[in-house]
Structure 1
Amino acid sequence: MTVALARRALAEFVGTAFLVATVVGSGIAAVRLSPHDVGLQLLENSLVTGAALVALILALQPVSAAFNPVVSMVERLLGELDNLAAIVLIASQVAGGCLGAIVANLMFGLPAVTLSAHHRTGAGLWLAEVVATFGLVLLVLATLRGDRADRVAYVVGGYIVAAYWFTSSTSFANPAVTIARTLSDSFAGIAPRSAPMFVLMQVVGGLLGLAVIRGLHPATKDSPEPSALDQGAVHD
């Protein structure tokens, strides 16, 4: 592994850890602060997550700010990553996400790991994950191909806050975050048996986003495929 790849892996590990700690931690805090109002709990959870995403992408973008295996998968398909880099970055994202969930549990006095009993299943939720991930990949790549890399953080943060509300699944849109959220039996958790279908639908959504962006912004010899990872991309 090169030094450059190691630095990117560290950025992905730390960034995804903070992202999941934000999602899980704010979910736990929301339930405790607003125990009788689920709508307010979701509002608190979504706003905090969106704000954290903006901050994390802005800070880590110069090194690597994907925090999402679907984004890394898309980068591999675009030829911006080789197999080793994709594997290392995705592994870092998943490991960082799991650490973030554990830390969030501990911060709120819960066991380090408690598998979630929150089952999330059904055609509507699966479709929602396709839509959420499709939208995320589409907006990230469209922003980058429009030479507006400096705005990616705001695009991602704003989109995720909105997607929490307009998708029935509350927009997981990230396999690393999905896996990590199985480790917390809290507001943001997802039962382990529900996670595989969520991840599959996220991959489908990512591939659809890639297909559409290639139609909207086809690469040419004079306009090569941009690297979303190098310029910052995500999610939740």
Structure 2
Amino acid sequence: MKRALVAEFLGSLFLAAVVIGSGIAAQRLSPGDVGIQLLENAAATATGLFALILVFGPVSGAHFNPVVSLVDAALGGLSRRRLACYLPAQVLGCGAGAVIANVLFDTAPISISTTNRATWPHSVSELVATLGLLLVIFSLTRTKRDDRAAAAVGAYIGAAYWFTSSTSFANPAITLARMLSNTFAGIAPSSVPPYLMAQLAAPAIALPLLRLLYPTPSIPQAQAPESP
């Protein structure tokens, strides 16, 4: 348990540092060109997430995300005790990562964001982005293809930066952390509640879909042994 909690805390910390830090760097390196800034931020997040899952996946499962832990617990992959410990580790880790990212770029350790993102399309985007993330992760775990999760999750999040108007936060812990940086990746506190509601609604859709598509964890049909 101790090793898993350290992994979840550190993974969440580095994830927030990557998301926010690359956003600050993009804003400074490409001033006036929001498209290039988003491309730089998305590329850093996708590749960073790929690496972090490889590093911490064998220790904790590399959730870094409360909704991932909630769905894993609902599907029987995570105990309630471990779930109760994972959630604060993820939130605190992301918060620490936001502070570190600010410090790395010589800004105030905590600067409350003023970026308003509370629109209907943004909320729907967060629902869709989070739902897609859950389907990607648990379609792999339930078909014993966990070894592909790092690449698949990194690729999906990189794509979701572009096909959603919210740029795919898809994570309550990172959403809370991004309040603490008044930079490119920040979100105003007033915009947080609709984001959280959309993200937390996604498991209610993902769970029945996963149970329909993958009723029981199994070996992919293509790899299943032939009947005698």
Q: Same fold (TM over 0.5)?
A: yes
Q: Indicate which of 6, 9, 15 corresponds to 2:11.
A: 15
Please identify, of 12-21 and 77-86, the stretch whose mean Cα deviation from structure 2 is larger: 77-86
| Bigger Rg over Cα | 2
How far off its partner does 1:32 sit? 0.3
Residue number in structure 1 paired with 2:204: 207
Structure 1 CA distance, aligned partners of 2:94 and 2:143? 30
Tell me if structure 1 keeps the 8 A contact 2:118–2:191. yes
| SS of corresponding position for 1:170 | coil
The TM-score, its normalising length taken from structure 1, stands at: 0.90
Cα RMSD for the two superposed structures = 1.3
Mapped partners of 1:126, 1:40: distance in 2? 24
Please name the residue that 1:40 is paired with: 36
Structure 2-normalised TM-score? Answer: 0.93
Q: Deviations over 1:179-221 (max 9, x none)?
A: 000000000000111112101100111321222111100027x
* Distance in structure 1 (CA, Å) of the matches to 2:69 and 2:2: 15
Q: Distance in 2 between matches of 1:84 and 1:146?
A: 25
SS at match of 1:168: coil
In the alignment, which residue of structure 2 is the partner of 1:232?
none
Tell me if structure 2 keeps the 8 A contact 1:118–1:190.
yes
Q: CA deviation at 1:175?
A: 0.4
Identity of aligned residues (%): 49
Aligned pair 1:108/2:105, yes or no?
A: yes
Runs of 4+ residues deviating >4 angstroms: none
Q: Secondary structure at the match of 1:61?
A: helix
Residue identity opposite 2:216 in structure 1: A
Letter matched to residue 108 of structure 2: P
Distance 1:8 1:207 in 2: 26
Task: Note the residue ranges of structure 2 that are not aligned, 5 or more in a row.
Answer: 220-228
Residue by residue, what CA displacement relative to the aligned partner does 1:96-124 show, whole Å, maximum 9, x if unpaired? 00000000000100000011001111111
Can you list the C-alpha shifts for 1:83-107, whole angstroms capped at 9, x where unaligned?
Answer: 3211110100000000000000001
Equivalent residues of 2:23, 2:183 under 8 A apart: yes
The answer to whether the Cα contact below 8 Å between 1:74 and 1:207 also exists between their aligned partners in 2 is no
Cα drift, residue 174 of structure 1: 0.2
- 3-state DSSP of counterpart to 2:180: coil
Partner of 1:228: none
**Alpha-carbon deviation of 1:79?**
2.5
Q: Which has the higher contact order (CA 8 A, sep 6+)?
A: 1
Secondary structure of the corresponding residue to residue 176 of structure 2: helix
What secondary structure, in the 3-state scheme, does the structure 1 residue paired with 2:115 have?
A: coil
Task: Give CA-to-partner distance per residue, 1:118-169, whole Å, 9 cap, x none.
Answer: 1111111100000000000001111122221110000000000000000010
Does the CA contact (< 8 Å) of 2:123 and 2:195 recur in 1?
yes
Name the aligned partner's letter for residue 133 of structure 2: L
2:89 aligned with 1:126, yes or no? no
Deviation at 1:80, TM superposition (A): 2.5
Task: Answer whether contact 1:134 1:207 (CA < 8 A) is retained.
Answer: no
- Give me the whole-angstrom Cα distance separating, in 2, the residues matched to 1:47 and 1:139: 19
2:214 is aligned to: 217
